[in-house]
Amino acid sequence: MPLPYHRLVVKIGSNVLTQADGTPDLARIAHLVEQIAALKQPGREVIVVSSGAVAAGRSLVQVPEKADAVSSRQLLAAVGQVKLLTTYAELLARYQLTCAQVLVTKEDFRDRQHYRNMQNCFRALLQNNIIPIVNENDVISVTELMFTDNDELAGLLAAMLDADALLILSNVDGIYNGDPKDASSHVIREIGPDTPDFSAFVTTQRSQFGRGGMITKCHMAHKVAQLGIAVHIANGKTENVLPRVLSGEVVNTRFLPSRTASGRKKWLAHAEPAAKGTVRLNAGACAALTTPGKATSLLPVGVVAVEGEFEKGDIIRLLAEDGRAVGLGMAEYDATKARERLGQQQQKPLVHYDYLFLNADI
């Protein structure tokens, strides 16, 4: 039975879009666009996160070998993004489909107002049957502004847009239980919320032309699945891979969604870089917050330490006394008041349940 996904985020990796020499594989892109058009036919909404701008720029501009790596990447991305989007636009036009370019940085996800503005833009595009083609803005994204890779960007978008599923197209068939080159290894078909730690057998090798690796894909996929969004990792070079993933006809790894979450919690799940301070919780508070089926706010009586300075409305990290990450929350009042009320009963919650995101593995 076909999977009942309506809104899809499709992430296409660098190794899928490039040839051995690092230049764009135009035939592969054309085939992927054909598949995207097919996905749209039943009325699905599709958001595409596409790498390949730097590769496209490499096919147009020769950069001296001794040139600065950061400025070279900026130059290639600036030139290549135009070619990449033009390629998508021309190919989609064959199916009477229109696309739009959306370039983002990590900073766009840190501020709640920026987040809402971007969310509204995507919704308007989808309502008008336009396919957003999203990429990191490599022209200005350097050092701390950079996403880990486009997998992280795709996960953020899937959460922001309440997608039903995120499809990550890589150059392997999925997550293996050993070295993919070993004949005895096989693809893990499903990874659930309680699947044991998989980092021990996932290869640490990074993509040839991308920044990411399989471990970062796994951690991102696990977090997105926590938010009620299914994640599939499949081989983008497989013939008709997208419709075949949805029909269950091709080998891939599916991260099973574990629960649903509000829009605020989906934002909080990825807001750790924006955290302004830290509070440490005693064992009682940790137990109360993580009791299954019980909605509990964080009260000052469960706080043993307040670190850093933050204001009302800022994101704060929640840690157990032993340093384990418990989650993230939005402060109901500033650090000074939090210290004054430290350990006290009958006080207003420091973090209300509606603005609290808890890690699944605590």
pLDDT digits (tens, 9 = 90+) for 92-102: 999 999 999 99
- pLDDT at residue 209 greater than cutoff 60: no
Q: Is 111 annotated as a binding residue?
A: no
Looking at beta carbons, which pairs linking 171-174 to residues 24 or more positions away fall under 8 Å?
Answer: 171/13, 171/15, 171/16, 171/207, 171/235, 171/236, 171/237, 172/214, 172/233, 172/235, 173/234, 173/235, 173/238, 173/251, 173/252, 174/233, 174/234, 174/235, 174/251, 174/252, 174/253
Q: Is 51 annotated as a binding residue?
A: yes
Q: Which of 209, 230, 265 is the last residue of a domain?
A: 265
What's the domain range around 190?
7-265
Q: Is 15 annotated as a binding residue?
A: no
Averaged pLDDT, 258-270: 65
141 assigned to some structural domain: yes
Binned at pLDDT 50, 70 and 90, residue 293 comes out as: low
231 with 340, same domain: the answer is: no
Question: What confidence score (pLDDT) does residue 33 get?
Answer: 97
Question: What confidence score (pLDDT) does residue 212 get?
Answer: 44
306 with 216, same domain: the answer is: no
16 assigned to some structural domain: yes
58 assigned to some structural domain: yes
312 with 188, same domain: the answer is: no
Phi, psi at 101, each rounded to 5°? -95, 130
- pLDDT at residue 326 greater than cutoff 70: yes
22 assigned to some structural domain: yes
Binned at pLDDT 50, 70 and 90, residue 5 comes out as: very high
Phi, psi at 48, each rounded to 5°? -110, 125
**In this structure, what CATH number is given to the domain that contains residue 314?**
2.30.130.10
Indicate the Cα dihedral angle 14, 213, 143, 113, nearest 10°: 80
257 with 302, same domain: the answer is: no
**In this structure, what CATH number is given to the domain that contains residue 41?**
3.40.1160.10
What is the percent of the chain with per-residue pLDDT over 90, rounded to a whole number?
Answer: 44
How many domains, the chain? 2
Question: What confidence score (pLDDT) does residue 27 get?
Answer: 95
242 with 345, same domain: the answer is: no
How far, in whole angstroms, is CA 298 from its chain's centroid? 27
126 with 203, same domain: the answer is: yes
Question: What confidence score (pLDDT) does residue 67 get?
Answer: 73
1 assigned to some structural domain: no
Q: Is 11 annotated as a binding residue?
A: yes
Question: What confidence score (pLDDT) does residue 320 get?
Answer: 92
- pLDDT tens-place string over residues 32-50: 999 999 999 888 999 999 9
Report which of 114, 146, 137 is spatially closest to residue 53, judged by C-alpha positions: 137
Binned at pLDDT 50, 70 and 90, residue 164 comes out as: very high
Binned at pLDDT 50, 70 and 90, residue 206 comes out as: very low
310 with 246, same domain: the answer is: no
Helical axes 112-127 vs 150-160, angle rounded to 10°: 80
The model's pTM is 0.74
- Most confident range, picked from 119-133, 172-186, 263-277: 119-133
Q: Which of 224, 244, 265 is the last residue of a domain?
A: 265
